[in-house]
Amino acid sequence: MEGNFFDLGHGSGKAIVAAAIIGSFKRISGIELLDGLYYQSVRQKDKYLKQSIDTNQDINLFQGNFLEESCDWWSQSDFVYMNNVFEEDLISKIGLRAAAMKPGSWFVTLFKPLPANEKWDRRLTKYMTMSWGTALVHVHFKLK
């Protein structure tokens, strides 16, 4: 996977560090609403960067709301990851923003898929083992 990775609601930053370990993303970003988790993720990132041989990776963590215009993950990202524990109303707002992503982008969700949309092709839906248990993973590809 290449290009720009974005985690919507990055929590303590586990997926951010995992994306950094993959090593092929140009830019790795995340946004988290809760202060406490945000500060924890900054500590995780610093710890990872200290241990990493490749310190040239561009990792950006933000504290805020992923629905805000200033966040703009939909125009900057080639690969979005979302641990989708959210309510339907929030998912539908995320879906509207995701519709503006570039063709050829990927959007991976856990548990619930993106709202159905002709612009997205759901390429895979599969149970996968996580460090904390099993999750249904959905892989969406942006057609247009």
Ligand X SMILES: C[S@@+](CC[C@H](N)C(=O)[O-])C[C@H]1O[C@@H](n2cnc3c(N)ncnc32)[C@H](O)[C@@H]1O
Parallel, antiparallel, or unpaired: how do β-strands 106-111 and 133-142 relate? antiparallel
Residue of 67, 99, 136, 139 that binds ligand X (CB under 6 A): 67
Strand-pair partners of 107 = 80, 140
Residue 112 touching ligand X (CB under 6 A): no
Residue of 37, 42, 49, 139 that binds ligand X (CB under 6 A): 37
CA distance to 11, 21, 53, 82, 88, per residue, from 42 (Å): 10, 16, 18, 19, 29
Q: Which amino acid is located at 8 in the chain? A: L
Residue of 15, 19, 80, 108 that binds ligand X (CB under 6 A): 15
Residue 60 touching ligand X (CB under 6 A): no
Binding interface with ligand X (CB under 6 A): 7, 9-11, 14-15, 31-34, 37, 65-67, 83, 85
